[in-house]
Amino acid sequence: MKLFKSRGWYKFSKNPLSVLGLLIVSLIVLMAVFANYLTPFPEHAGPFVDIPNKIKSPSSTYFFGTDKIGRDSFSRIIFGYRTSLYLGVIVLCIAVPIGTSLGLVAGYFGGKIDAIIMRITDIFLSIPPLVLALSIMAFLKPTLTNAMIAVSMMWWPWYTRLVYNLTRSIKNEGFVVSARIVGASNFHIIFKEILPNCSASLITKITLDMGFVILIGSSLSFLGLGVQPPTPDLGTMVSQGSKYLPDIWWLSVFPGLAILVIVLGFNLLGDGLKDLFDVEL
């Protein structure tokens, strides 16, 4: 394949940890997408009860054991990944466009618009993320949708800050001056000249953030404010399993490890991209 012969791939593959990250992320994404075909008990993701098989320890049938109503933990973890990735993607789909456009506008136009946008951003950034999400969740019903809204609300300012700083430096580059002299509109300059030159930083930050968003989402579910049963979610599984520690350890340890692996995967991949694109975040 052409990709594996390119210079970019060579640079990326020199660090084995980045490749490991890519491997973990692609494996998890594949498993989550094809969870219906890959898991031994896809029906266990729903409101399923099998009392005779409850609280089985890990075995060749139930890799990660079963919970107190007989559901296979392994299958539920894979479906839990699906929930986590869904949350991560939706949150970033909301936060990135909002944060990026505010950062572009503030950085490009400067003056009063800059002051207003950046002060609001500062206010959001000054509140600890989890506290902000918790207080938003206190007003809303604890559902997956509301969890997404809450996490998005705390995530956009980071993109505003990042893109703002990039825009401030890119707008003085020669090619932006040239575009203005040639007669390009502000719209063209912002979206066709400046934004494409932010893309490397944005892609890297999005990759790193996927892990963090999933972590925050899991924390919310752990506290009972995110995804509600019977939808499988890693955070919920950890919190429910923790009641039975240390005897029935597999109920919380495996979902916990699953969170660790996905966050680690995105972080390694993000770090690899950071080196590849040579960007500062």
Partner 1 sequence: MSEPLLKIQNVKKIFKVGFSNVIAVNDVSFNIEKHDSVSIVGESGSGKTTLANLILGIEEPTAGTILYNDKKINFNDKGLRKKIQFVQQNPLSSLNPKKTIYQTLELPLKIHNICPREDVKSKIIELLRYVDLDQSYLERHPYSLSGGQRQRISVARALACEPEIIIFDEPTSALDVLIQLKILNLLAEIKEKLNLTYIFITHDLAVVRNISDKTIVMNKGNIVEMNDTQKVFESPKQEYTKELIRSIPTITDEEEAAKP
CB of 180 to partner 1, least distance (A): 8
CB of 178 to partner 1, least distance (A): 5
Residue 150 in contact with residue 137, Cβ under 8 Å?
yes
Structure tokens at 86: 């869904």
Is 30 one of the binding residues for partner 1 (CB under 8 A)?
A: no
Structure tokens at 264: 């680690």
Q: Is 16 or 196 the residue whose CB approaches partner 1 more closely?
A: 196
Integer Cα distance of 164 and 120 in angstroms: 13
Interface with partner 1 (CB under 8 A), residue from 67, 72, 193, 209: 193
Interface with partner 1 (CB under 8 A), residue from 199, 229, 245, 281: 199
> Within a 10 A sphere around the Cβ of 128, how many other Cβ atoms?
10
Q: Is 135 or 178 the residue whose CB approaches partner 1 more closely?
A: 178
* Residue 196 one-letter amino acid: P
CB of 179 to partner 1, least distance (A): 7
Q: How far, rounded to the nearest angstrom, does the alpha carbon of residue 6 sit from its chain's CA centroid? A: 28
Positions in 100-129 near partner 1 (CB under 8 A): none
How many residues touch partner 1 under the rule CB under 8 A: the total is 18
Question: Can you spell out the DSSP letters for 85-118?
Answer: HHHHHHHHHHHHHHHHHHHHHHHHH-HHHHHHHH
Could you tell me which residues are beta bridge partners of residue 72? 66
Interface with partner 1 (CB under 8 A), residue from 8, 23, 26, 173: 173
Applying CB under 8 A, the residues found at the interface with partner 1 are: 173-175, 177-185, 188, 192-193, 196-197, 199
